[in-house]
Structure 1
Amino acid sequence: MPKPAATRRDHVATPLLDPLDGRARYVRFHRITDRGFVEFAFGVGSPELMAELIMPLEAYREFCRVNQVVYLTREEEAAMDEDQAKWRYGAPGVTE
């Protein structure tokens, strides 16, 4: 008898990296869309270089759990935004 098709509940998430890889995994939450998708950024080893991702809320929760992520605080996010603004727009008083 054929095996029934897997349902979403049967899915088991796998970590993106080897569990022995000691690098921290960072998440910066952006928003939940009106269709229930989570927009967020994910980085490995440093929160300064992140990839933008989007997935359903339950998948996001599982992704974060399996990858044992560190959630950035609002203060960390503000500091990163300020640092990135310096790179994009220059610092006041600096001329070329």
Structure 2
Amino acid sequence: MTLWIAVAATAVGCYAVKLAGLLVPAGVLEKPLVKRLAALVPVALLAALTAQQTFADGRLPVLDARAAGLAAAALALLLRAPFLIVVAAAVAVTAAVRAVTG
């Protein structure tokens, strides 16, 4: 039963956050600082999620094939490769490191 309470509380919380966003006056959203922060938050969240998925395994930090794939993707980005090449390089390097390390 506590699982359903948690699900309901999460649903109510998500709805409250969405409602709070809709209730913000338009004048606040037009301020330069708010616009700048709104543009930077998705980048920061994506970087944090990438780091967490790459260097964490449960509770402990790890350095494995995922880090090599991320490094390959970063190198491809520095070389200004197209997005599909960046993804392909990350996949290929990750698969190669996993195949070599077992």
TM over 0.5: no
Q: More helix by proportion, 1 or 2? A: 2
TM-score when normalising by structure 1:
0.28
